[in-house]
Structure 1
Amino acid sequence: MEEPDPSIRRAGITSCFKEMLHRDNQELVLILSGLWHIAMTHTDDPEYPSLGIFDLLSNLIMKGISDKDWLLRDQNIYVPYYAAHIIGSYTMNKAEFAEKAVESGVIPPLIKLLRGKLSWVEQRVAVRALGHLASYETTFKAVLAYEQEVVDSAMQIASTCLEVVYSQFIALNGMKRSKYQRDLLTRGIGRTELEDRKAEEWASQLQCWSLYLLNCFACKGRSLDLICRGEFLKDLCEMWGGLVNHSNPGGVGLIRILCYTKIGRERIADCKEVVQYLCNLSRSSDDWQYMGIDCLLLLLRDQNTRYQVIEIAIFCLIDLIELNNLGKARIHIGEAISRTLLQDHSKMIRSKFKDNPKVQEALDELWILKVEKGKRERLLTQEKVKEKRVLVDLIKQQAKSMFWAGHIEEAMLKYNEALEICPLRLRKDRMVIYSNRGQCHLLLGDADSAIRDTTRALCLSSPANNHCKSLWRRSQAYDMKGLSRESLMDCLMFVDGCMRSEKKRGKHAKIPHYAARMISKQMEAAWLFAGSRSRAMASCAEGGRF
């Protein structure tokens, strides 16, 4: 390694790679761990990929799979993991490295690991490496040769990996856990709490990387009939990039890719659970809110799926019509939603929704707000707007007095009156009215109406989703409906807003105790393994009865 002469050094490394396959002692793992470190820190260095490292790694994986006696000797059990990890690291950024890897025959051994020939730990690095190989035009064809097997395995892993990691690792006490998996997770540091945190992170990565591999096929229109199976689409709604993998959208990322295809839109429109999930995501403060909106708009713009979806989606999207921007890349979202919903408005009212008065009412409300009221208000003078603002303030004060006197329903009627009068351009005033009316709905136990009003308030805030009172109120409403993920995201945004506000005033930032309780509750409910734990406990309880 330290040889100054490049030609001698390269010859020595090539010879070493050839000899490593025949090593039968603990030095093999030490050398591989060193190569792993180099691959992680010098990902773009072409030296080792050009000297036959992929041939070595491919053969080592196959040896570990086919020769169990060898695998269990010394520390060879670590070999397939390190080998697959090195392949993934070198093929992450460079198409030419991926091409060399494919030429060296890495795909068959990686697929064997993907199928679970060893354990979930090796599956994690195998699916990562295959995802890189499938992401390049020049190597996708090589992965495509194993299309059925790869897609089936990736779908299976995405749907079941959390159950597998929970039952085969998390649910076991320290001594029963596989030692080599514990060492890989914590680099030998140990401690159950650290192992649990790393296992959660790795399980999330395993699921997200499986989805990425499926994305590579879906983007090219491959295996859509298989990926669009109803049960798998429902599973996708539970796959959350979430708090563990901040940069990964989880299942909604694949759902959005599918919405760009005809078969994807048709299958998703047939699945009410998926459409409802997209509605909940669209009315949340999740980083991937815009993806939920994108999916719904794609479904509504397709005349073959529009009328299946609109009966569910309109009651969510109508709350978002005054949403201006979601970051720099997503501007005038509310206008896009309004235009989509109001296509052929009068024709739709006459024919499509004769038997669904609620949809008709929602479309009428949208028409009045975006068209008729907008036209009337364009004629208002500044003086008239000021007069209306004074009147609105008076009615708000009346509503506030009624609210604090315990007359919640009367206060709500006053807020209705204030909204009727308040000009559309007075966004901040309307934000407060919607938020306060949402609090009335909350106290009356009407969670759906509370979500609707607080969402409208958050769309009017600047920037969007930045009104602390509305975030907390919607978090409570989502909690009432058992939507822990949505409640958690709103509560986290609420706490962040409170702390920023306190810092601006020069005060010591503290998390409100009631918000801390809510976060704790929802973190427990939205925990990555919450479903697996619940099913395991139910199974134990059922077994105990017999």
Structure 2
Amino acid sequence: MALNTIIINTTTTTTTNNNNNKEDKELNSITHFFCAMKQQSPRRRRAALTTFFNTMPYTIDESQVLVMSSLWSMAMTNPTNPELPFSGALHCMSLLINKSLSQPSWLLLHQNIYIPYYAAHIIGSYTIKSSSLAELAVDAGAVPLLLELLRGRLSWVEQRVAARALGHLASYDSTFHAVALHGEEVINLAMKISTSCLKTVYTEFILSEDRKKYHCDLLTRGLGGKEMEDRKAEEWASQLQCWSLYLLSCFAFKDKGCHYLICRELGFLRELCRMWGGMVNGESPAGVGLMRILCRSSVGREAMAGCPEVVLSLCNLSRSSDDWQYMGIDCLVLLLKDLKTRIKVMNMALDCLVDLVELKNLGTRYNVGSTITKALLMDYHDHDKINSVVYRLWELKVERKRREGMMVEEELVKRWSLGEAKKKEGNERFYSGEIEEALLLYTQALELCPLKRRKERMIMYSNRAQCCLLLQDADKAVSDATRALCLSSPANSHCKSLWRRSQAYDMKGMAKESLMDCIMFVNLLVGENREKKKRKVIKVPYYAARMINKQMNAVGLFAGVVTGEGINMQTIEEEEEEGRRRRRWIKEG
């Protein structure tokens, strides 16, 4: 009886010890990192962290994902803290990515499928603001491994963080060369990803009935259902596109020789002008950011001037309330100043730019209208036959300004009074339904009203835009509303003109521009009502909400993929012949 008791006790003890050993092993691997972080002595903490990072890539443990998640959180919260990177974190991340790519069987163990995503994200987070940490990542061999992820060795989720990390590394002078060693491949990959990523995410995730679980977990952290996953996937698809464009922008900014590689395919430029950060990723200039950089070289300017879709998109951006409006104006001015592209761009962009010549300040940019005027009139006296639009511009900005400068104040006041009388008469005709007569009277009022009476002229242009809307002349409505918004102070701050231009763009089928104007209109309207009524909650007008809903459906990130319009999914390989013709054209000058 005593012997049996001893055997049972021994067996129980052995089993308990085995379980404890297993738990201790797991507990040690989970807590080693966190215990190291709690060390009060910086020297001991650094030593413990170094030991952990040196051994982590060579251990097989299901708890590694918890550590990676914590590292990612620390890197996102405090990306400039050098303690973990200099303790070996970036080298460890590179080794883990390499292990993921070289050992598929290990990648399928436990939750290791999450590790390459977190590893690339951690590298990207620690290199976002610090060139010294970027140099550390390069020394750790991160570039070739990130390039493997960018090639699509795993999935679009890992491509996103790889493009982000490579973009940071390419943004510093000290580490750009490491990425530039693979320059042509990186550029081609970034171009291909930026044009195809929306279709990839839409077909492989949004439409997929068998979504990868780890994709869903990474997107929503295990919370929410299909609707939330779809919204997050849309956001990540936009980020993948924008990070790819940022990577291209780094190459284009640091090496103008890369402009030839980017501009050799007209198909890419056509897609580039449609790439918009928009409501999903509004902090990125997306396609127009790269276009502005390309305009700094003759190769880039000639390629863009030879693509009417690009010039048209720049015109539309310049006459919008988009945050990147100034970039569109910059591009057009650079194209006009180049004698090789001036005539071609002038023919397409003249009407648009003339509407902007009375724009004073745009954000931190001053005398924008004067800059546009100088670009349009720089060869005014060199032509035997002057375009009628340019002639009217000369009359407005030069001759009329000179004449009014010579007038005495009494004469200016008299002209203003006559203009006001014409405007009031126009209002009466408008309300009686005589729209064409009202339009004519507003035009006469504008001719009389002195240029320095900007507020009065703004109202006249806005009234004339309303007449054009009722007469179904959307082009003139856009032109007059734009002129009114240029006269407002600050620019684009006149509610009625924004709403009228939004309606005009809607008539023209320009959903993006209509949406931006309508959102700006609502923001201004709500702000004004809050100041007047001093209420926290202000209702958005029904007609504006309906317009926003309509245009959001039309310009959604995946709208072009769903309809098959707006996004041409031709690959670079399919346009090689066109590229060869383009290269010969550029070479021949």
What pairs up with 1:86-485 in 2 under 5 angstroms? 86-173=122-209, 176-220=210-254, 221-228=256-263, 229-327=265-363, 329-348=364-383, 350=384, 360-485=387-512
Contact between 2:492 and 2:498, CA under 8 Å: does it hold in 1? yes
Q: Secondary structure at the match of 1:331?
A: coil
Contact between 2:163 and 2:247, CA under 8 Å: does it hold in 1? yes
Between stretches 242-251 and 478-487, larger displacement belongs to 242-251
Compared with structure 1, are the counterparts of its residues 441 and 117 closer, same or farther at alpha carbon in structure 2 (3 Å cutoff)?
same
Distance across 1 between alignment mates of 2:459 and 2:269: 38
Contact between 1:474 and 1:490, CA under 8 Å: does it hold in 2? yes
Contact between 2:359 and 2:491, CA under 8 Å: does it hold in 1? yes
Distance across 1 between alignment mates of 2:47 and 2:371: 62
Contact between 1:280 and 1:486, CA under 8 Å: does it hold in 2? yes
Distance across 2 between alignment mates of 1:390 and 1:5: 80
Q: Secondary structure at the match of 1:57?
A: helix
Partner of 2:514: 487
Distance across 2 between alignment mates of 1:68 and 1:89: 26
What pairs up with 1:7-156 in 2 under 5 angstroms? 7-156=43-192
- Write the deviation string for residues 77-120 of structure 1: whole angstroms up to 9, x where unpaired: 00100110111111112111111111111111100100111111
Alignment-mate amino acid for residue 333 of structure 1:
V
In percent, how many aligned pairs have the same letter?
55
Contact between 1:10 and 1:51, CA under 8 Å: does it hold in 2? yes
Contact between 1:388 and 1:421, CA under 8 Å: does it hold in 2? yes
Q: Secondary structure at the match of 2:277?
A: coil
Contact between 1:454 and 1:474, CA under 8 Å: does it hold in 2? yes
Contact between 1:161 and 1:207, CA under 8 Å: does it hold in 2? yes
Distance across 2 between alignment mates of 1:433 and 1:507: 31
Alignment-mate amino acid for residue 477 of structure 2:
A
- Say how many residue pairs are matched: 527
Alignment-mate amino acid for residue 343 of structure 1:
M
Contact between 1:131 and 1:216, CA under 8 Å: does it hold in 2? yes
Distance across 1 between alignment mates of 2:39 and 2:359: 63
Distance across 2 between alignment mates of 1:202 and 1:470: 35
- TM norm structure 1: 0.94
Distance across 1 between alignment mates of 2:83 and 2:375: 54
- Write the deviation string for residues 426-469 of structure 1: whole angstroms up to 9, x where unpaired: 11111111111111111111111110011001111111111111
* Offset of residue 37 of structure 1: 1.9
* Offset of residue 31 of structure 1: 1.8
**Aligned with 1:532 (options 561, 564, 570):** 561
Partner of 2:14: none
- Write the deviation string for residues 398-444 of structure 1: whole angstroms up to 9, x where unpaired: 21122122221111111121112111111111111111111111111
Compared with structure 1, are the counterparts of its residues 426 and 7 closer, same or farther at alpha carbon in structure 2 (3 Å cutoff)?
closer
Contact between 2:184 and 2:261, CA under 8 Å: does it hold in 1? no
Alignment-mate amino acid for residue 117 of structure 2:
Y
Alignment-mate amino acid for residue 219 of structure 2:
L
Distance across 1 between alignment mates of 2:534 and 2:44: 65
Partner of 1:522: 551
Alignment-mate amino acid for residue 342 of structure 1:
L
* Offset of residue 213 of structure 1: 0.7
Kindly report the root-mean-square deviation, in angstroms, between the aligned alpha carbons of the 2 structures.
Answer: 1.7
Distance across 1 between alignment mates of 2:399 and 2:257: 46
**Aligned with 1:513 (options 542, 545, 551):** 542
Alignment-mate amino acid for residue 382 of structure 2:
K
* Offset of residue 295 of structure 1: 0.4
* Offset of residue 246 of structure 1: 2.6
Matched, 1:503 2:534: no
* Offset of residue 324 of structure 1: 0.5
Partner of 1:542: none
Distance across 1 between alignment mates of 2:108 and 2:268: 36
Distance across 2 between alignment mates of 1:265 and 1:342: 20
- Write the deviation string for residues 288-328 of structure 1: whole angstroms up to 9, x where unpaired: 1110000000010111111110011111000001000012x
Distance across 2 between alignment mates of 1:468 and 1:29: 52
Contact between 1:182 and 1:190, CA under 8 Å: does it hold in 2? no
Q: Secondary structure at the match of 1:330?
A: coil
Compared with structure 1, are the counterparts of its residues 388 and 6 closer, same or farther at alpha carbon in structure 2 (3 Å cutoff)?
closer
Distance across 2 between alignment mates of 1:21 and 1:503: 57
* Offset of residue 474 of structure 1: 0.3
Distance across 2 between alignment mates of 1:30 and 1:211: 32
Q: Secondary structure at the match of 1:93?
A: coil
Alignment-mate amino acid for residue 486 of structure 2:
C
* Offset of residue 245 of structure 1: 2.1
Partner of 1:544: none
Distance across 2 between alignment mates of 1:453 and 1:473: 10
Distance across 1 between alignment mates of 2:529 and 2:49: 59
Contact between 1:183 and 1:190, CA under 8 Å: does it hold in 2? no
Alignment-mate amino acid for residue 307 of structure 2:
C
Q: Which one scores higher on RCO, CA 8 angstroms, separation ≥ 6? A: 2
- TM norm structure 2: 0.87
Between stretches 22-31 and 269-278, larger displacement belongs to 22-31
Q: Secondary structure at the match of 2:355?
A: helix
* Offset of residue 52 of structure 1: 2.2
* Offset of residue 488 of structure 1: 0.5
- Write the deviation string for residues 31-57 of structure 1: whole angstroms up to 9, x where unpaired: 221222222223222222223222221
Distance across 1 between alignment mates of 2:162 and 2:61: 25
Alignment-mate amino acid for residue 549 of structure 2:
S
Distance across 2 between alignment mates of 1:426 and 1:87: 56
Distance across 2 between alignment mates of 1:122 and 1:166: 16
Q: Secondary structure at the match of 1:3?
A: coil
Between stretches 266-275 and 493-502, larger displacement belongs to 493-502
* Offset of residue 5 of structure 1: 4.2
